[in-house]
Amino acid sequence: MSFRLLAAFLLSALAAHAAIELPAQASPRVRYGAARLEKALGAAAPRIAVRVVPGSAQPEGFTITAPPGGTITVTGADDSGALYGCLELAARLQAGQPLPPRLADAPQFLLRGPCIGMQKTYLLPGRKVYEYPYTPEEFPFFYDQATWTEYLDTLADLRMNTLYLWNGHPFASLVKLPDYPEALEVTPETFARNVAMFRWLAAECDRRGIWLVQQFYSILISKPLAEKHGLSTQLHAWNDLAADYTRKSIAAFVREYPNVGLMPCLGEALQEQATQTRWMTEVILPGVKDGMAAAGLTHEPPVIMRTHATDATKVMPEALKVYRNLYTEAKFNGESLTTWEPRGVRQQLHLAMSRLGSTHIANVHILANLEPFRYGDVEFIQKSVVAMRDRLGARGLHLYPLFYWDWPVSPDIAPTPLRQWERDWIWFAAWARYAWNPDRPADGERAYWTARLAEHYGAAAAPHILDAYNAAGECAPRILRRYGITEGNRQTMSLGMTLDQLVRPEKYREFPELWESQSPPGERLKEFAEREAKGLPHEGETPPSINAEVLAFAARAVAAIDAAAPLVTRNREEFARLRNDVRAIDAMSQFYVAKTRAALAVLRYGYSRKIDDMRAAQDRLGESVGYFRQLTALTKDSYQAANSMQTAQRRIPLPGGVGGKAANYHWTQLLPVYEKELADFRAQVVALSHPAAGRTHAPFAAADFKLLTPGLETFTAQLGNTAFSDSDAVITSLAPELEGLQGLKLSLAATRSDAPRKIQFSCAQPVRVLVGYFQATGPAWRKPPELETDATAGERGGVEALLTRAVEFDSLPPLNIHAFDYPAGTHTLDVRGTGAFAILGIVQP
């Protein structure tokens, strides 16, 4: 049915039902609310009048008056307010709740809504991360109007007013450009379907008071366009053709879909700050203005600037000179959920954005430490929303689902795939409820959520299930914030961590913002062990205190869910899945507690050199493997995967993609890894008990390669040699693995320049290039690849250090060695970023 026919049908239906009186020129949004209200009315329907009176309340606010025996009046401050008033009245009538004489309500957060990833768990052949054209083959749900209708009705019930679609480069699926006809990435038939669907979706969103927003990355361009012009699809620097193409794509999008918002991400591909600012002010915003002119728009459409992988404090002042109707967005706890006490540099970024005068949005992103289990800690969620407002200055919520990369299905193994918004109804409902109003008294909230859970599982079981949700939800946030490598998407917390990652996290590129911004103050494992050894007092959260809290919460959750089990009267299959999740969270918590105790014992050994510390570590490590076996048994037949993104961007505990295929995404795949780790550790303890059985490290095997850069010399990696053509710094310490390799003698000054010399080489077999990064901070020293801000950074590996402090000099900082993989062929070495680095050799993989 077309939109006009549907509107006419609703009008006739409402006219036939005399109980509801609407304004003469009621908008589709008001009609939708009235239709939902009419559906809720019983046989003896009261008379109801729906009004829109601007200024009668805050935006989207409403008032319901119900005089005894008189007409019930729903008054909205705008069309959305009238819609929400109708939905509130409908819910109360359906529940048989008495109406007070006057009821008024309005939201505290201006924008409230979830996102959907137009992304997949895998990479498409010949493409990079984020590159997914809109096609029926990859996204069948996008073309399913019935499913969209159910989902959008759910969002309306939750009073969500935004919906974000995330994609790397959506324009080549949604618009055609006369100047770049080759850019279209889909067939003509699919393009026609995409345009029709996108227009329908935008209209259906608007009818429910929802603003549809399309997100995109910079600089990503169409694959066929890139191939025609010999470009990469993801560009790290300014390109004139890409700039012209992108500006015209945005203009065409605004012209074709004038009621759809845009959300650019300046980073990920595009690297330098000055270029990002220029791209925003000379490409993206002018493109929006071009589209406005073509569509005859007089008011600037809202544009949301994502503050990821860019310094928004430098972009926004310049952007506001070009365009005024800007919003900002930044991640709440990074790409996890860890604390309701965000602080540090990330808190300051949020506050800086919130003080610009526009609406700032907090983004609950990815949830890498919650995957794949259900999460319903409504107390944690309420505190988090309060923190968004009071600690960060946010007035908007941007919410990710719990299994982002595989929407709309959940990861559960079930006879019929579970839909995420149904499985995780309490996740969406809690964030929506508190984004509307976070200042709700605790007693009333317990009664509210108990009633909601009673609808699902029965009244007697409900309070126990609520207790289980609230207790289980405290475990993962505490574990990650105190022990994790990163709050980012490259760590799958439920799959565990290796002992080496806990003992030597610096080797795996630990991300300081995890404990400096996304955690309360406290001590990491290494810091705690050092303070213990030196007899110093401890501060804040410590590993023992966190372990005690995690064990107590996990035990409380198991006891509560077990108490609920005999009382459940409905939805028993879903309750069984929830109960299994609680037990899995308990086993995971026990695993981490045992393994971190093992790590502390290893760290103690570093100070004491007592073999008893290593034997204690061995015992605790054995316990951790036992708990991981329990976790594996609980998840073996209940979950397809632990994480929703299964590509090489996943790094912790092991890379998520090997040879282009998904790997290390299930507990059954990690259990043998941890069993081998235990066996190796036992052998190490035996060796330490007999010092004569020392271990040696053989040098890496040099690979055959040919340097193609004229004048570039090599050097031999050995003590007393120099590694640079213009530095007298000599090697004073060298890892045995590097001994005798042929490194490339670069110019130290040239590596720091804006236009460093290109290094070209050829190889008949695959090779690994060993790049040394100086352990120093500042613009003079190049940084290793950073997956937190560049999802393509790990294309050739090299994210984690292969060897730490592998080379020391007499007058330069020490080097960590990272290994980058290259296939057979001719290559230009790409060491991203600026600042000094070294090349210690090219070796066999």
The residues near 411 (Cβ < 8 Å, ≥ 6 apart) are: 371, 372, 403, 639, 640, 641, 642, 644
Q: Can you give the pLDDT at residue 13?
A: 39
Write out pLDDT tens, residues 211-249. Answer: 999 999 999 999 999 999 999 999 999 999 999 999 999
Non-local (6+) Cβ contacts of 178 within 8 A are none
Joined together, the tokens standing for residue 218 give: 């910079």
Contact 843, 703 (CB under 8 A): yes
Of residues 188 and 799, the one with the higher pLDDT is 188
Percent of the chain predicted with pLDDT > 90: 81
Q: Which residue has the higher pLDDT, 264 or 719?
A: 264
Give pLDDT tens digits for 684-716: 999 888 765 444 567 899 999 898 888 888 898
* Average confidence (pLDDT) over 550-572: 98
pLDDT of 159: 98
Per-residue pLDDT tens for 468-494? 999 999 999 999 999 999 999 999 999
Query: Is the model's pLDDT at 16 over the cut of 50?
Result: no
Q: Is the pLDDT of residue 15 over 70?
A: no
pLDDT (0 to 100) of residue 692 = 52
Q: Which amino acid is at 414?
A: A
| Rg, Å, the chain Cα set | 29
Quick one: pLDDT band at residue 8, thresholds 50, 70, 90? very low
Mean pLDDT of 347-360: 95
Question: Mean pLDDT across the stretch 33-56?
Answer: 89
- Whole-angstrom distance, CA of residue 501 vs CA of residue 511: 13
Tens-place pLDDT, residues 728-762? 888 988 999 999 899 999 888 888 876 556 889 99
pLDDT of residue 691: 63
Residue 97 reports pLDDT greater than 90: no
- Would you place residue 109 in the very low, low, confident or very high pLDDT band (cuts 50, 70, 90)? very high
Mean pLDDT of 22-35: 96
What percent of the chain is predicted at pLDDT more than 70? 96
Which residues are 767's β-sheet partners?
A: 822
What is the maximal distance between C-alpha atoms in the chain?
97
Task: Spell out where 291-416 has E strands.
Answer: 303-306, 326-331, 360-364, 396-399
Do 307 and 216 meet the contact criterion of CB atoms below 8 Å apart? no
- Residues 471 and 465: their CA atoms lie apart, in Å, by 10
pLDDT at 62 over 80: yes
Q: What is the pLDDT of residue 258?
A: 93
- Cβ count within 10 A of residue 395: 21
Q: Which of 330-334, 449-453, 655-659 has the lowest mean pLDDT?
A: 655-659
pLDDT score, position 694: 45
pLDDT tops 70 at residue 272: yes
Residue scoring higher pLDDT (776 or 106): 106
pLDDT at residue 750, as a whole number: 83
Q: For residues 104 and 128, is the Cβ–Cβ distance under 8 A?
A: no
- Tens of pLDDT along 111-140? 999 999 999 999 999 999 999 999 999 999
pTM of the model: 0.89
- Going from the C-alpha of 407 to that of each of 138, 253, 561, the distances in angstroms are 11, 24, 28
For the chain, the average pLDDT equals 93
Two tokens, residue 129? 């991360």
> Strand, coil or helix: what is 652?
strand
Most confident of 53-57, 208-212, 833-837: 208-212
- Residue 12 is predicted with a pLDDT of 42
Write the CA distances from 107 to 63, 233, 448, 463, integer angstroms: 13, 41, 18, 28
For residues 831 and 771, the answer to whether their CB atoms sit within 8 Å is: yes
For the record, the structure tokens of 140 come out as: 């069948």
pLDDT at residue 790 greater than cutoff 80 = no
* Residue 7: pLDDT over 50: no
Given this model, what pLDDT does residue 98 score?
Answer: 87
Mean pLDDT of 296-313: 94
